[in-house]
Amino acid sequence: MRGFSPAEISRSISQSRRNFLRSVTGAGAAATLFGPSMLSGFVAPRNRKAVVVTFGGGARDDETFMPDGQENIPHLLNELIPHATFYTNVVNKGILGHYVATASIVTGVYETFNNFAAVSPNNPTVFEYFRKDLKRPATDAWVVAPSNGFARIGESGHKAYGPGVGAGVILPKRLLSAALSSQADDARYQHLLRDNYETPLYAPTLAGNQIELGQMAEVLKLSVDDFAAHARSLASPDELSVYIAKQLMRQLAPSLLWVTLHDIDIAHSGAFSLYIDGIKRSDRLCAELWTAIQQNPEYANKTTMFILPDFGRDSDIDSGGNGFQHHRTGDTLSRTTWMMVLGPDVKQNVVVDRPIESIDLVPTLGRYFGFEARYSGGKPIAEIA
Amino acid sequence: MLPSQLTPASFSAYPPEAKALAESQLELLRRLPLAFLPLLLRELIVYDWKFPAERAELDRQFRYLSSNPGLPGFSQLKLSRELEQDDWVNSPAVFSEQLSAHLWATRQIDAFRAAATDYIRRATASAPDAALPAHRLGVAIIGQGVERNEYRLFRKLRPNGVYYSQVKHQNGVQTILDAAAARAKEHPAPYAHWYIDGASTSSTPPSLTAVSYAALAASRATLQARMQKTYEASVFDPEAFRTMLAQLRPEEVGLGMSSDAVLDRFKLSLLTEGSGTQVFATTFVQWAARETLRRAQPITLVARFTPRQREKQMNELLAERQRKPELDPAGSLIDADMGAYYTWLNQQRLSGDDKSAFLVWFEDHSDAIAISPALARGIRLDTPIELADLVAKVA
């Protein structure tokens, strides 16, 4: 791709995804199905729900939507995409670190804080807009996040919002570590806290609205023993996160549930096969969540599910990086990703090539639920909102 | 401090050769923009431990800069007062980390990236590369310990060369090392011929520069212990952690006892600058090959991937009181297949790419792929061939 502009490369990536999807699913173009008139007279129903799944650790097209990657995402391709509107060109123009990037998606503003700092986002989160504007209770918005670094993702430091109006945050691995350490020696489970693959050593001091072990039984109706026993049957932290998410859906049925998967980011270790394993697991877990939505009466037929990587990974051709291993170059491939949207109000088997940004999600959720993401720099996505 | 304020005393803490070079280039250094100069000093401060190819590259950049000191792409970047006040002369690597964070946070990273790309392109084009004594040859040996394989090997490389499915491979590793040694004998030069192995390199021909993951076990253990100690501290500061790694000396991890300080420093850098190189043999070999090609620019490189330890699933970790070391040959083969592709890509980034050759052999199996300007592309040959004959085609 030497000599091409970033915009050309971005279009090329988008076109590749489109061509591939058309070949395997027969997906059509959204332009013929949607128009501005679709939005007129729109009223947000009160009982809508949304589940957002982000991949912390983007997966490249090479390992997903390109021919060699198809074998890694059978569930996305065969079960989800035929029922989805698929955005082929989602650009992240912010900092490519997982916590700060997820915070940017959550606020709809490109946050600029240190990725490795234990800080709240500077701008109001989607959870604060949702709860404060719509007067929703604390039990109606939850985040399930992979690492301690995400402890403050639920609410911002913004003076108009902030503490008390955000989402509850569950850090499953921290809970598990606490649960197991109460039964045995602490050191044995240290690896559970070592969960940030961007730097091998990161365990920030926790502060935020995350629930602790003692609250778990009350919130999730799950005893410590049952939780620990079930965890012993799971293969990865992401499986634990999805288990917790499904438990939340059963017990509290929150209207806004945000799940961040992280297994893919083991790519930072440089082991390609483990990165592929992470992609396959995320593919399966996304389908599991969608099935859980369809099977839960609280969610079925009134829930929109959004699936998007927080950003991509470096390309093989950029000499400044080391291919799939990192996302440090800021090249076009590492900034360009995709989003899949499924739900009763979403057109099925449709591909949208128009570029959107990852910060467009929050204003889209605002239009969907009926709140205004007034500090967000993004725009509502017309086909969904 | 600003570049214009530099004096000879500014470099008093530099190693001897680096200090002499800095003093000789002082007038030029004073004229360079702050967004660029520490990045140059990051290379200069380790001049004493640089490979010949790196020294030649730095010399070329100085010659280019002497007539192009303005560097408008870098001059236009807006830096903070805090960055100006950093000790960027003596700690340019730390400055680079902070500069990177600043550029991301202020959304200037794309402008920086464009300036850096343009600079490298212009500096490289300002003087021709030295003629190579022979075409470059890269060899990757992958899949040690794998009995049966269902993964489609060489998937990235097949369009570029010939896939041989019937390779006779008795004494295969030795055949390849003998060929590398023969090239080293015919074209002797410091750090021009390398052998990187996930296992021991005890039988390596002395004419090859050798690096071994297994041989660095003690250094890796020492480093991991230091990392673990940092991890368990009550307050963890990732920036301080990176600074600690950047400032480690070879002797602190059991290196530095050999007579080759340049190679000792290189080995240390593989462990402190690479991600995953401390724990996974496959990652180590891939990263070592990348860094060898990028820095030493060898004309012969043999990289032998050995199995990495198996990554245990969460339930296994929870069930076991102690982790027993196990290997994952099948997963390692997939890692190595990608690693071989990256090694070829990195070789092709060097001068002489139009004449370079590359060979990947599935160790103890009959599969190999050869890439050379003399060979066809994207074809498969099922006729038997001796590995020695195949090596001769690319060597």
Give the model confidence (pLDDT) of B290-327 as tens digits: 999 999 999 999 999 999 998 877 776 666 555 567 89
Identify whether the C-beta of residue B184 lies closer than 8 Å to the C-beta of residue B156.
no
Instruction: Spell out the residues 6+ positions from residue A293 whose beta carbon is closer than 8 angstroms to its own.
Output: A51, A249, A299, A300, A303, A305
Most A CBs within 10 Å, among B157, B231, B316, B318, to test the A interface: B318
| Partner-chain contact B236 A271, CB within 8 Å | no
Cα(A178)–Cα(A220) distance, rounded to whole angstroms?
16
**Are the Cβ atoms of A317 and B345 closer than 8 angstroms?**
yes
Are B314 and A266 inside 8 Å of each other by CB?
A: no
Beta bridge partners of B301: B138, B194
Distance from CA of A187 to the nearest CA of B (A): 10
User: pLDDT at position A42, please?
Assistant: 46
What single-letter amino acid sits at A355?
Answer: P
Do A270 and B319 lie within an 8 Å CB cutoff? no
When CB atoms are compared, the residue of A68, A201, A274 closest to B227 is: A201
Token output for A92: 């992240």
Predicted pLDDT at A176: 83
* A136 sits in which H/E element: none
Q: What is the average pLDDT score of chain B?
A: 93
End-to-end CA distance of chain A: 35
Spell out the per-residue pLDDT of chain A, length 385, in tens.
Answer: 344 555 665 566 666 776 666 665 566 654 434 333 333 334 555 689 999 999 877 889 899 988 889 999 999 999 999 999 999 999 999 988 888 999 999 999 999 887 777 789 999 999 999 999 999 999 999 999 977 678 889 999 999 998 899 999 999 888 887 887 766 555 555 555 554 555 433 333 444 556 777 787 788 888 888 888 888 888 888 999 999 999 999 999 999 999 999 999 899 999 999 999 999 999 999 999 999 999 999 999 999 999 999 998 999 988 889 999 998 888 888 899 999 999 999 999 999 999 999 999 999 999 999 999 999 999 999 988 7
Nearest to B194 by CA among B303, B345, B89, B58: B303
Collapsing DSSP to helix, strand or coil, A206 comes out as: coil
Report how far residue B8's alpha carbon sits from residue A384's, in angstroms, rounded to the nearest whole number.
64
For B163-185, what is each residue's pLDDT tens digit?
Answer: 999 999 999 999 999 999 999 99
CA dist., res. A150 & res. A97, Å (int): 12
Across the interface, do A271 and B311 touch by the CB < 8 Å criterion? yes
Residues pairing with A306 in the sheet:
A52, A341
According to DSSP, the β-strands at A168-170 and A350-352 are unpaired
Quote the longest CA-to-CA distance of chain B.
69
Report how far Cα B317 is from the mean position of its chain's Cα atoms.
32
pLDDT per residue as tens digits for the range B30-59:
999 999 999 999 999 999 999 999 999 999
Specify the pLDDT at position A45: 59
Instruction: Identify the structural domains of chain A with CATH numbers, from first to last.
Output: 50-369 (3.40.720.10)
- pLDDT value of residue A110: 95
Least Cα distance to B314 among A289, A90, A191, A357 occurs for A191
Are B4 and B30 in contact, with CB atoms under 8 Å apart?
Answer: yes
pLDDT number for residue B232:
67
Q: Long-range contacts of range B263-269, CB-CB < 8 Å, 24 or more positions apart?
A: B263/B191, B263/B209, B263/B211, B265/B46, B265/B49, B266/B49, B266/B51, B266/B211, B266/B291, B266/B295, B266/B296, B267/B211, B267/B216, B267/B219, B268/B219
- In a mutational test of the B interface, the residue from A322, A324, A329 whose CB has the highest number of chain B CBs within 10 Å is A322
Interatomic CA distance for residues B53 and B294, integer angstroms: 9
Query: Structure tokens of A223?
Result: 């005893």
Q: Residue B33 carries which side chain, given as an amino acid letter?
A: P
Provide the pLDDT for residue A3.
Answer: 46
Q: Is A234 within 8 Å of B274 (Cβ atoms)?
A: no
Tally C-beta pairs within 8 A across A and B.
121
Instruction: Look up residue B195 and give its two tokens.
Output: 């052998």
Lowest mean pLDDT among A125-134, B183-192, B197-206: B197-206
Nearest to B155 among A68, A97, A234 (CB): A68
Contact residues, chain B, for A194 at CB < 8 Å:
231
Give the mutation candidate from A183, A199, A201, A202 for the B interface (greatest B CB count, under 10 A).
A201
In the chain, the amino acid numbered B244 is M
Q: Tens of pLDDT along B241-297?
A: 777 787 889 999 999 888 899 999 999 999 999 999 998 999 999 999 999 999 999
Q: Are the Cβ atoms of A200 and B275 closer than 8 angstroms?
A: yes
- How near does any CA of chain B get to the CA of A25, in Å? 25
Residue in this structure with the two tokens 């997906």, named with its chain if needed: A27
Answer yes or no: are the C-beta atoms of A277 and A71 closer than 8 Å: no
Which of B113, B241, B334 is closest, CB to CB, to A273?
B334
**Residues A312, A299: Cα–Cα separation, whole Å:** 30
> Residue B218 corresponds to which tokens in the numbers above?
């003690």
The mean per-residue pLDDT over the stretch B101-129 comes to 91
Predicted-complex ipTM score = 0.92
Report the C-alpha gap between A194 and B307 in whole angstroms: 24
Question: Is the Cβ pair B105, A324 closer than 8 Å?
Answer: no
Q: What is the pLDDT of residue B22?
A: 97
Of A200, A235, A325, the CB nearest to B314: A235
What pLDDT, on the 0 to 100 scale, is given for residue A55? 86
